[in-house]
Structure 1
Amino acid sequence: MLSMQNSPLFAHPDLNGTGLQDEGCSGAPLHNLPTGISGIRASTSSTSTGASPDDTSTDSPDWNGGAGRSPPADLDMSMNHFDPSHEYILESRISEMDEVPKVEELDEEDIQSIKPSDVGNRDDSGAPATVPRKRGRPRKHPLPAAGNQAKVTKGRSKTGCITCRRRKKKCDETKPACLNCQKNAVVCEGYPPKEIWKSGRQKMADAVLTHSLAAVPRNLPLLIDGIETDIDRRFLDHFVYGFSRVLTLINDDSNPFKEILLPMATQHRGLMHSLMCLSGSHLSGLDPEPKLKERKYFHFHRAIQDLKDNITASSSKGDDQDEQLLVEDPIIASTIALSLNTICEGETNGEYRPHMDAARYLLVSQQPRNEKFRQFIVEFFQYHDISNALTSLDRRPALVSGGLHLPDFVPGAQAGMFLGVFDGLFNYISEITQLRDRIRQRFNEGYEPAVDYQTLSEAVQVDTAIRTWKTSHEEDTPNFFLAQLYRQSTWVYLYRTIRPSRPSEKISQVVDDGLSWLDRLPQDAGAYSIVLMPLFLLGCSAFVAEQRERIQKGFETLKSYSNLRNIEPAFKVVTRVWEIMDTKIEESWDWEKIIHDMNMDFLIT
């Protein structure tokens, strides 16, 4: 033991800070100490400060500097009583202290079980021990320090109500409605449904099944081309049950628009678009819903495009097939339906002209194939073409010749859908229009008198024919009353043509008689569908104020029945004729010129 104490390895440090020296020998440098002793020194420093071997603590004693400082008592004692057998034990403990202990995370229960304690938190001198920072990335939620009961913060609840999760607020998860939403006076939207847990393989199988089902078409094909949406079905119902009855005298199931044109349209997409456009135009006048107008324009453009496609297809083929393709019955019907659309729209700028010209060309050049459709379409065109000549200066009626010559085309008036065509009355109206054109030409050229002997002779013949004309409709029926109204208005048209424009008892009497026949018509009679033309002629010949009031009432009744928008411009023309009658009575004779000066051109049917 004395030899070990005298060994230079266990020399005491110099109090003056000059290094470790032996009591009887010269001092040896500190860096020459053996490895074992330096390890003891590091272990002692680490134990006293509580720091890791790699860290440097400001509280650890400096054995090389500082006067009056001495090594710890425990180290001095170990030096004085050192046993060689303890060297291996010291080295093993020093190596254990060099290893970084494994840090395990504590759960909530372990954290709560921690009790405050001062053991190990202070060094021998009584000062608080410095806890070194652990290596690595700091924890997002650091563990509570020893001796302190830290408050544990929870993350946002993922099972809260939808409102709280959207507002990013903590939810108390009270069901059915959370108290947090009730306290803040907001509507609690409840809780999202719980999903069934599925493995990755099950989710993949569900995704494949969903994708395969999406690729399968679910829509059924259209039953009828042109009837695609709910609005189209509404147009169809309005056409069948409402609109078709205001187009002809017949308003039952034998109506030609329902019996002939509609079945034909189910086989021809273009004709169906034309009829749906026609029905949509009339319905949009009753219900100004934007969707109805939008769909109406859709059918109009599709109908026009279909006609262009048919014409293009026919022109791309030979001349032998050209006439055959153009004269298809649905194409002729489409032109007629589009011309009627201008009536429903109330268009007054001649929009009907291209459609009427196309129908005129097809009917004059070729004949429709279906016999029943042939009778209807020729009568329909003749009625509108001759009536249009009453209000236009440049549109003269086309007299169809050959097998479609009128009125010998049909053996009886009962076959007609319009009054005056098959029974010959419209032939007289057409002749009066020709006399009117001749008188206007002679007046413009300065001839006196404007009515020459030839014109007067032809007028007398027409007058005789009108007087002897009789309708085949049964008496005391709406159609019989309408026939008498047409007869009166035709005679008024003849009288106003060959006589100067001035009031007289004759014209006043005929106008009164015509209005009396009009008053006898029931307000729901189908005869009101073709009352506009004779009412217009009576209005242009009403010199008496009382007659004008009755004429105005007739226009209002007609408007409430059919709701066709060409009635209003027709009454506007009549009102203008009355104004000219009261100021320049002689100019009121030529109402065609008055309409031209008003920049109006429309069908008066």
Structure 2
Amino acid sequence: MPCVVVDPSAAVPPALQSASSSDTTWDTTYQDEGPARSANGDMNWDSPEDELTVPKLEPMDDDCFRMDDVKEEPRASVPLSDCPSAAPPKVKRPRGRPRKHPIGTQQVSSKIAKGRSKTGCITCRRRKKKCDEAKPRCLNCEKNAVICEGYHEKTIWRGGREKKTGEDERRQSLPQITLQPIFEGVETAEDRIFFGHFINNLSGVLTVEGQHRNAFKDMLLQMALEHRGLMHSILSLASKHLDYETPYGSKLLSSNPKVNRSSMIARSHFHHDQAMQLLLQWGKSGEEVPDQKANLAPYYGQMLCLLLQAAAEGSTVSAHRVHLRAYKSLIQENPPPDEAFTTFITELFQYRVFADELILQPDMQSKRLATEDWEPWTVIEPARLIGIGDRLFHYLAKITTIKNEIRSNLSANTNPIVTSEMAMRAHDISAGIMEWEPTWPAGDNRNRVSQLYKQMMWVYLYRTIFPPPASAIANTMNNNMGVDSSVSPYVAISNVADGSNVMPLSPASSQSCSTTRSPPPVGVFPPGSDRRLSNGSFQSTPIYLVGGGSPPPIMLFPPHSDPRRLSLAVDECLGILEEFKPSDPVQTLLLVPCLVLGCASFKPEQQDRVRDAIRIVRGYTGMRNCDRLAEFLEIIWELMGRGEWEKVWDWQRTAKLNKLDFACA
């Protein structure tokens, strides 16, 4: 029980005095040992320390005494230092058996956590428990028998200048290393996009077999990993094939924030320049070519990539033919040592050599690339394309030879234009085409494409062997009086504000093409008043358009041709074209038939079907030479509507006059 110290100078409470003077006996004993009494029985209040201890008073049974009347006088405060020290609290003995190895004393931090602390140990913060933040390990983790992971390193806030200085010091303290690209040539973010586009997209477009037999990845790409010039050629091809206006191209730019369109185009030019520089450097080297046979395969791969790049860009300046001539001059004496690669490039190059004659006007000063007696240097097995290994394109070369001879007779006004010897050769070619059969396995869509090529070859032969007669050519020249024949074939179109005297782009309207007139699409045909003659003056308006006159009637089909037979053959070919799905890999092979069928489509509905077919091929391949073909066919159909049959028949010359010398395969 706590003791109470009373000031000795304080007066004794009245209640205590009355109680002491009464007869009633009070028990003033506090413990077993109390203060001494005097002889007369009074309490001895004297203390050696001059302090009076108030005893506990317990009243006896007294009817005259009431405890409610007793009031204690306020006591004076005593300093705590005067109070005897209390006994230390007894430590409670922990439960259970004592530890054999007691935990050592941990130095507890004197920091008192207030509120929610963010400086606790990693374990407590992860477990969302209160941490005592003891060092080096948390006692809370020790008590719960979990591993304390320590504390996060204390970070000191620094300003911008101090932070930059610290980063510079840290950077200078680190060792300098140089990380080189794993593949030489693939160095920047733009290069990685080109590289991925070639592997995931373009390589599948260029082949017919699909991904299971992709020679562009299995052969060409493997060589590019070890040849810097071929890698630059592949990246240049992939960059030229990309179209940033399509959703695919836009997605590539949006998903790679480090690049933009300008940087992609600049990097594309870089790869093209590097590829051409390395290729020309090899061609001008003084080493013997036979000594480089082991390295010839990558250079053939470079030629192939640059050839395909001309088609991807839609070049109209015969850029593709440069690489075709280089291939022809090199392959005969120095084929690549790898037989499988030789078969691959031979079929791919020779297919384009034959198809190029469908758009090329022959030059007497240049050697012809496609010959009738061409034989492959190796067996084309297994074949990938149509017309090379099965020798169907040999008939195409023979037909082109007859067409070149007829063209010479037309220029020399020789009569007859088609000689009996030409007619006999045409008959033999027709018989050979009818006997030709494809060799593709059942279920392969190239079987169906082969029937399309077979019918296309007959259409090409029919259009060749029936040229316009001399009378039709004379009528065409009379209708175009005052027009320079060296300019584009649509120069006779007049520039009238209301468009009433402008011939249609193609006879695709519901009315007859001989009477319907509508303005051509903007940007396709220049107005007649803007065209100049070779002497620099503006062209003159045709006589039949002066004074609001009407042009002479024009036949729907050219003379000396059977409309029924030709129309039936074209319709059958278009029916086969429309059977293939837009995602079918054989779309790669359908551009050549579109060219031949387009030049033989005299009906408006046939022309519309050819437009749709070209649009599908363009969507699958992404090659811009499809756009050049569509532009060229619009010119041919315009000439059909005007009845200029000589220019329609000699479409190679028409392409040259309009500066549309593009890769048609």
Change (3 A) 1:388 1:194: closer
Contact 1:348 1:601 in 2 (8 A): yes
Q: Which residue of 2 aligns with 1:592?
A: 652
| 1:438 matched residue in structure 2 | 405
Q: Does 1:565 find its partner at 2:532?
A: no
Secondary structure (helix, strand or coil) at the match of 1:421 reads coil
**Following the alignment from structure 1 to structure 2, what is the Cα–Cα distance between the partners of residues 400 and 208?**
75
- Provide the C-alpha distance between the structure 1 equivalents of 2:189 and 2:403, rounded to a whole number of angstroms: 50
Counterpart residue number, 1:279: 238
Asked if 1 retains the 8 angstrom alpha-carbon contact of 2:386 and 2:450, the reply is: yes
Cα shift readout 1:390-432 (whole Å, capped 9, x = no counterpart): 101137334498xx823x84265xx112111111111111111
Q: Distance in 1 between matches of 2:162 and 2:579?
A: 75
Distance 1:533 1:327 in 2: 33
- 1:308 lines up with 2:308 in the alignment: no
> Alignment partner for residue 662 of structure 2, among 577, 602, 605?
602
Other-structure match for 1:379: 347
Contact 2:293 2:336 in 1 (8 A): no
Q: Which moved more, 1:291-300 or 1:383-392?
A: 291-300
Which secondary structure state, in structure 1, belongs to the residue aligned with residue 319 of structure 2?
coil
**Match for residue 168 of structure 1?**
none
CA 1:309–1:581 in structure 2 vs 1: closer, same or farther (change >3 Å)?
same
Distance 1:294 1:400 in 2: 44
| Structure 2 CA distance for aligned equivalents of residues 487 and 479 of structure 1 | 12
For residues 604 and 313 of structure 2, the distance between their equivalents in structure 1, rounded to whole angstroms, comes to 31
For residues 366 and 454 of structure 1, the distance between their equivalents in structure 2, rounded to whole angstroms, comes to: 38
Conserved 8 A contact 2:372-2:397: no
2:421 to 454, 458, 465: 454
Aligned to 1:271, the other structure's residue is in SS state: helix
Matching residue's letter, 1:328: L
| Distance apart, 1:585 and its partner CA | 3.9
Q: Secondary structure at the match of 2:369?
A: coil
Q: Distance in 1 between matches of 2:362 and 2:430?
A: 25
Q: Distance in 1 between matches of 2:294 and 2:353?
A: 21
Q: Distance in 2 between matches of 1:546 and 1:326?
A: 54
Per-residue CA shift, 1:318-351, capped at 9, x if unaligned?
xx45673697111111011101111111111122
The aligned residue for residue 336 of structure 2 is 368
Of residues 629, 636, 641 in structure 2, which corresponds to 1:582? 641
Q: CA distance change for structure 1 residues 352 and 207 in 2, over 3 Å: closer, same or farther?
A: closer
Instruction: Give the conservation status (yes or no) of the 8 Å contact 1:327–1:366.
Output: no
RMSD: 2.6
Q: Please give the alpha-carbon distance, in whole angstroms, between the structure 2 residues aligned to 1:308 and 1:322.
A: 17
Q: 1:474 Cα shift?
A: 3.6
Other-structure match for 2:571: 512
Residue identity in the other structure for 1:342: A
The percent of aligned pairs where both chains have the same amino acid is: 29
- Distance of 2:181 and 2:611 partners within structure 1: 47
| Structure 2 residue corresponding to 1:410, chosen from 373, 376, 379 | 379
Alpha-carbon contact 1:482-1:521 (below 8 Å) kept? no
Q: Secondary structure at the match of 1:365?
A: coil
Q: CA deviation at 1:259?
A: 1.1
Change (3 A) 1:411 1:566: closer
Give the match's secondary structure for 2:242: helix
Task: Select the structure that is richer in helix.
Answer: 1
CA distance in 2, matches of 1:548, 1:398: 29
| Per-residue deviation, 1:191 | 6.9
Deviation (angstroms), 1:309: 2.0
Residue 209 of structure 1 deviates from its aligned partner by 8.3
The 2-side partners of 1:207 and 1:457 are apart by: 87
Distance 1:243 1:398, change over 3 A: same
Asked if the contact 1:399/1:405 (under 8 Å) is kept, the reply is no
**Normalised by the size of structure 1, how large is the TM-score?**
0.62
1:138-164 per-position Cα deviation (integer Å, ceiling 9, x unaligned): xxxxxxxxxxxxxxxxxxxxxxxxxxx
Q: Structure 2 unaligned segments of length 5 or more: list them.
A: 1-156, 251-260, 469-557
Q: Deviations over 1:162-216 (max 9, x none)?
A: xxxxxxxxxxxxxxxxxxxxxxxxxxxx9727969x9xxxx9xx999855646x2
2:202 aligned residue: 243
1:222 aligns with 2:191: no
CA spacing shift, 1:512–1:208, aligned 2, 3 Å: closer
Counterpart mapping for 1:515-534 below 5 A: 515-534=574-593
1:259 aligns with 2:239: no
Shift of the 311–508 alpha-carbon distance from structure 1 to 2, 3 Å rule, reads same
Higher relative contact order (CA 8 A, sep 6+): 2
Cα distance in 2 for partners of 1:329, 1:273 equals: 15
Q: What are the superposed Cα offsets for residues 285-326 of structure 1, whole Å, 9 maximum, x if unpaired?
A: 5437222222111110010111122123x22x4xx4567369
Say whether 1:346 aligns with 2:329.
no
Describe the superposition over 1:456-512 as per-residue Cα deviations: whole angstroms up to 9, x where unpaired.
111111101111111112455421221111111111111100013526111101000
Aligned to 1:486: 453
1:298 aligns with 2:270: yes
Match of 2:63 in 1: none
* Residue in 1 that maps onto 2:327: 359
Q: TM-score, normalised on structure 2?
A: 0.56
Residue in structure 2 matching 1:464, options 407, 431, 435: 431
Q: Structure 1, unaligned stretches of length 5 or more? A: 1-189
Q: 1:400 to 1:536 in 2, by over 3 A?
A: closer
Change (3 A) 1:210 1:567: closer
Cα distance between partner residues in 2 of 1:321 and 1:483: 39
Aligned partner of 1:174 in structure 2 is none
Match of 2:467 among 477, 480, 500: 500
